[in-house]
A and B are shown apart, each in its own frame.
Chain A
Amino acid sequence: AQSVTQLGSHVSVSEGALVLLRCNYSSSVPPYLFWYVQYPNQGLQLLLKYTTGATLVKGINGFEAEFKKSETSFHLTKPSAHMSDAAEYFCAVSDTGGYQKVTFGTGTKLQVIP
């Protein structure tokens, strides 16, 4: 069975500050890991994904995440927050080796303070 835990349903950062959104997962097999972003009244957009290979994954809009197997974590970071980053972020895991059965975390709403 697979599951995802996102610590913090709401995170506030100042514009220009580091963004850190935490995600821990459990999986019985090597997982695929994803971060999605959802802007108000829009669908989910894939930010980045880890499947195999390099553990530091770079995504769109300056975000990156590092897969740490020993910590079962896949935290999302961005060095400098922009106002446009305000949105809800979902971490997700698939342990079926693909995109079929994806389990989502409960989401973290990011607020960027000017």
Chain B
Amino acid sequence: GAVVSQHPSRVICKSGTSVKIECRSLDFQATTMFWYRQFPKQSLMLMATSNEGSKATYEQGVEKDKFLINHASLTLSTLTVTSAHPEDSSFYICSALLGPNTEAFFGQGTRLTVV
């Protein structure tokens, strides 16, 4: 099946610094990728939809200046958490669509801890 790789799997950063998380589709081109956030004991919440070559579409309540998304190629989308704070500590997971009416394939997630 299609493989989506997310890097890093775990990251610890100091408060006030920025962290970049990469999401790559390894064996297919993904015009659309999604970014989710999952707090402990809560559901995955969609943060934004990333389309190659255009600006990401953010869900209501998600700060686009804080969570910068770049989808520069058909195989790579990045999420940068800027000026991270402890409340940004969470599990971030991406997914990519193989095609417009196909299932989404998920990365393994990134555990971000801000200290």
Contacts and interface: CB of A to CB of B under 8 A. Distances in A.
Given A49-B103, A99-B101, A99-B102, A43 B109 contact: yes
A43 B104 contact: no
Interface of A: 4, 9, 34, 36, 41-46, 49, 90, 98-107
B41 A106 contact: yes
Interface of B: 4, 6, 9, 32, 36, 41-46, 49, 93, 95, 97, 100-109
B73 to A, nearest CB: 20
B101 A41 contact: no
Nearest to A4: B43
The 8 A-B residue pairs whose C-beta atoms are closest, nearest first, are A43-B106, A44-B106, A104-B44, A43-B108, A104-B43, A106-B43, A43-B107, A42-B108
B41 A99 contact: no
B1 to A, nearest CB: 8
A30 to B, nearest CB: 15
Given A4-B43, A103-B46, 14 more contacts: A9-B41, A43-B6, A43-B93, A43-B108, A44-B95, A44-B106, A46-B103, A49-B103, A90-B43, A98-B101, A99-B104, A104-B36, A105-B43, A106-B42
